Amino acid sequence: MSGTYYTALDLVGGNPFNFDDGTRGTIDVDWPDAIEAVGGAENIFSYKDVSTSLGYAGVKYREAYNKAGGVVYLAFPIESVYDNEERKELIEMVLSGFDVTPLVGDGSINPNEFVLFQNYPNPFNPSTTIKYSIPLVGTSRGVSPHVILKIFDILGREVVTLVNKEQSAGNYEIQFDASELTSGSYFYRITSGEFSESKKMILLR
């Protein structure tokens, strides 16, 4: 099947993980390998639109099911999965299957709860950094929650939406540029499911 680009599918949830098609700046994989579980291992990833009689995209093996840890073999280079969020989600999914706390890209441990940090600098002119943390949602898989981060003026009127998408567990930061706003107090609020938190910041010209 040379010349065909592939997608790996999680056999439990059917979540797709796309390979680089030669234009994403990672590894161009147009001919991935195929493997199959033996000796007590379990097939965990298949290839989309490819018969499993030809093999699978990933298997895992746990020597003792009452202990954390194990081995996962992927038939494709993990760095060929794009984009970064999808690659991180794949890593979290693999690790969560072994009751291991995943690591995010900056090397820090994934947080256990939602956290909205105070922006810095504060007061600021004209830009500031807002940081927040997202925990793993669900006990068996890294489910990505929908996150909304908005800015409001002192009267409660929405100024801008900075984030409105699903995000994997981890620590995030975003720059807020207030070059076109007047001096004064503003609020930023993050919401995700039942979680909501707001903080105050001051734009000082």
pLDDT at residue 3, rounded to an integer:
45
Provide long-range contacts, Cβ within 8 A and 24+ apart, for 61-68: 61/37, 62/98, 68/98, 68/99, 68/100
Q: What is the CA radius of gyration of the chain?
A: 21
Decide which of 3 and 33 is more confident.
33
> Beta-carbon neighbour count of residue 105 at 10 Å?
11
What is the arithmetic mean of pLDDT over 181-189?
95
Band of pLDDT at residue 89, cut at 50, 70 and 90 = confident
Q: Indicate the CATH number for domain 115-203.
A: 2.60.40.1930
pLDDT > 70: percent of the chain: 71
Domain chopping of the chain, boundaries: 7-96, 115-203
